[in-house]
Structure 1
Amino acid sequence: MRPADSAFSTRLVSLDVFRGLTVMAMVVVNNPGDWGHIYPPFEHAEWNGCTPTDLVFPFFLFIVGVSLAYALAGAKSSHAPLRPVLGRVARRAAILFLLGVLTSLYPHFNFGTVRIMGVLQRIALVYLGCSIIYLKTSWQTQAITLLAVLIGYAVLMQLVPVPGIGPANLEPATNFGAWLDRTLLTEPHLWAQSRTWDPEGILGTLPALGTGLLGALAGQWLRWSGPAPVGKTAGLAIAAAVATAGGLLWATWFPLNKALWTSSYVLFTGGLALGLLAALYWLYDVRVYRRSLAPALAFGINAIAVFFFSAILSRTFALLCLPGPAGQPVGLKEWLYGWGIAPFFSDPRAASLAGAVVCLLIWLGILSLLRRQNWVWKV
């Protein structure tokens, strides 16, 4: 735990708000009262397509890119040796990756079937890769790298035959990425719901790197001393329109797909992230609007803590069994929902959403207390 930076003048307030809103959305979609009754916008697309829920993870990776463009700018411009900086970056990435593995291990710690990849693991790899590219290259090279990654990934997924299976395809268990995960990670260490492929697998991390690079480019644009704030906002908005349109056009032959993290999905979700950042930047950093900041900032400055501890607590509550409304034993969270929320709603989907909102409010109380104490958890 480290003291939080409370000086708005030294931070990009819009980025803190963006991060906070994204984490709040994550809490809501990850914690429904009843997984069997969810409104469609709060579910992931079954395969191809993109729902509002499918925007949460790419938005966070985009934010990682913007953040590192601010956090590492001093080291890049100082022309000092980069080895110590890269060491700190590698250390942080390793801690994030290990935290992700720990969430998979807890509470049974079965190393024989632990999922190696995951959300925190992908964040760690994207942070590491984007940081190295940002520190070592110009923004022009980063833009070229982004395009090369997206085009190369599309070619690999759509044209290269899958060993032992046949022609290239985009089906869950038979695409090139799924084959690579089974080959390198082996089936016991893949996503537990499938064991034949992993939505945060190895190959999909490559285009996810593109999402982070798009954020890094946006961060450098905002840091550039050339354009006035109005020009910076307009530049983000234009880039948002181009990227979103490009993603939708590309989706006609390489569909939007979060699990595969398709190139069209990178451009489409990145364009929406650019548009939201433009709006927030104009509101909070240009117009200096300061009302209703507290909830988003509370979540924004402790984003990793929310993700990690919400996963740990959810698994812990599942171990504490109590008799449910129908008499069968259920975990503590299900027990609280079954007795304290569900009976007050006639629509089970509304009750499920209410359960997610209650979880959000509990986290808001905890994080607001931490923020008042001026502390933030960093890795």
Structure 2
Amino acid sequence: MEATVMRSAPTLTSTSAPSGSRIVSLDQFRGYTVVGMLFVNFLGNFDALPAVFKHHNSYCSYADTIMPQFFFAVGFAYRLTFLRRLETSGIGGAVAAVLRRSLGLILLGFVIYHVDGETRSWGQTQALGLRGFVATAFQRNLFQTLVHIGLTSIWVLPVIASGAAARVGFLVLSSVLHLVLSSWFYFDWVWNRPGIDGGPLGFLTWTIPLLIGSLAYDALAKGREGKVAQFVGWGALIMAIGYAISCLDGALAAPPFVAPSRSVTLWTMSQRAGSISYLTFAAGFSLAVYALFVAACDLGGLQARVFSVFGRNALAAYILHSLVAGAIKPFMPHDAPAWYVAAGFGIYFGINYLFINYLDRSGLHLRL
């Protein structure tokens, strides 16, 4: 694992920008996504919060748009840095860097999320055995954000430097493979565990927002002019495709952000199942949201300090936020009134910001 503490954030450049200039929209978009994560992860279990801000696993809520935006940002930066490393280090160095980073994320995820089950005596450990351990320990808890980013990055490695047609084709093939496996056995398996964020095979569909992000980088690297309208248009089309897929079980599905009135199938927009419809819609939504940051930041020259701070230290914020929540939530019951929940969130958010802002002003940025 190559965890480094850096005195300045790494430079992200587009091929049309002067060397050393940052893609401000990406920093701001990533920071917005971190802030969204803090919001939904802390508030999601309180009765006072509207349903659209909670995870439900039976439709795409606002909460479900946050994790795909991380993958969109990862795909954008992945394409940029891999092409740069190809020029400076060759194919061997570029691939080695991806593998080190991805395996490091998986290892960090193992430490944060843990595996399933436990044994309370040496006799139970012996009875479980290696086969039993492998069969039971890696079904649910491990497969969350960091591990999915690591696995998906390795999965798309063969095409990340390829042209747009190859990446789109790989995206479609990965989606079809997930659909075939889901219809065979996987949907029932991951739904009834229940799985988290698509489970062990979730990388097949998390490929969708990651590669859409890589395509967005290609477009932006050619210049900003006209990209806002282009991204909004393509985002709307991709969202429409995602919704159309959710209707393939024979009936018109409820629109995104609206609770459905029918049972969940493999076509339903579901973060738990990592369904094709969900991640296609969410990838389009990510692209459309990113267009707003291109307009505001790259073209309009606007920046929000809070987004800059969290965007430059997203990994540190991710690791820290659950620790801070653990310190605040013990005295916040799920049925607390809205004013009390808002006050608790304010304290929680403020503590997170104080830590990450201190790291940023000190030039300390956690990277893998």
Match of 1:87 in 2: 96
Query: Could you say which residue in structure 2 is the equivalent of 1:203?
Result: 201
State the Cα distance separating 1:230 from its structure 2 match.
2.3
- When normalised by structure 1's length, the TM-score is 0.76
Gaps of at least 5 residues in structure 1 are 163-175, 182-190, 318-331
8 Å contact from structure 2 (residues 145, 197) kept in 1:
no
| Aligned twin of 2:210 | 212
Which residue is 1:255 aligned to?
Answer: 268
Please list every run of at least 4 consecutive aligned residues from structure 1 whose deviation after the TM superposition is greater than 4 angstroms. 6-9, 33-37, 108-114, 312-315
Deviates more, 1:87-96 or 1:142-151: 142-151
* Counterpart among 179, 185, 191 of residue 154 in structure 1: 179
1:117 alignment partner, SS class: coil
Label 1:368 to 1:54 Cα distance change in 2 as closer, same or farther (>3 A). same
Amino acid at match of 1:103: I
Match of 1:270 among 283, 303, 311: 283
Distance (whole Å) between structure 1 residues aligned to residue 228 and residue 213 of structure 2: 15
What is the correspondence of 1:1-379 to structure 2 with a 5 Å cutoff?
1-5=5-9, 10-32=21-43, 35=46, 37-45=48-56, 47-76=57-86, 78=87, 81-105=90-114, 115-135=141-161, 137-158=162-183, 160=184, 162=185, 176-177=186-187, 179=189, 195=193, 197-224=195-222, 228-253=223-248, 254-290=267-303, 293-314=304-325, 317=327, 333-335=329-331, 337=332, 348-379=337-368
Matched residue SS, 2:206: helix
Tell me if structure 1 keeps the 8 A contact 2:47–2:336. no
Q: Which amino acid aligns with 2:160?
A: Y
- Give the count of matched residue pairs: 321
1:27 shift after superposition: 1.0
Could you tell me whether the CA contact under 8 Å between 1:233 and 1:281 is conserved in 2? yes
1:196-245 superposed Cα distances (whole Å, 9 cap, x missing partner): 54444112220111221111111111113xxx522222221221111111
Cα RMSD for the two superposed structures: 2.9
Measure, in 1, the Cα distance between the counterparts of 2:195 and 2:43. Answer: 25
Q: Is the 8 A contact 1:48 1:256 kept in 2?
A: yes
State how far apart, in whole Å, the 2-side matches of 1:178 and 1:122 are.
20
- Per-residue CA deviations over 1:309-348 (Å, capped at 9, x if unaligned) read 2234555x4xxxxxxxxxxxxxx6424x47xxx9xxx962
Q: What do residues 134-185 of structure 1 show as CA deviations (whole Å, max 9, x unaligned)?
A: 13x2221001111222233234323x3x3xxxxxxxxxxxxx2453x6xxxx
Letter in 2 for 1:367: I
- Confirm or deny: 8 A CA contact 1:62 1:213 kept in the other structure: yes
Q: Tell me the SS of whatever aligns to 2:90.
A: coil
- Aligned AA (2:358): L
Cα distance in 2 for residues equivalent to 1:116 and 1:3: 31
Q: Which runs of no fewer than 5 residues in structure 2 stay unpaired? A: 13-19, 120-124, 126-132, 249-266
Cα offset, 1:378, TM superposition: 0.9
SS at the partner of 1:377? Answer: strand
Counterparts in 2 of 1:98 and 1:312: CA distance versus 1, 3 Å: farther
Does the CA-based 8 Å contact 1:33-1:352 persist in structure 2? Answer: no
**Shift of residue 94 of structure 1?**
1.1
Tell me, yes or no, if the aligned pair for 1:18 and 1:300 is still in contact at 8 Å.
yes
Aligned sequence identity (%): 23
Matched AA of 2:361: R
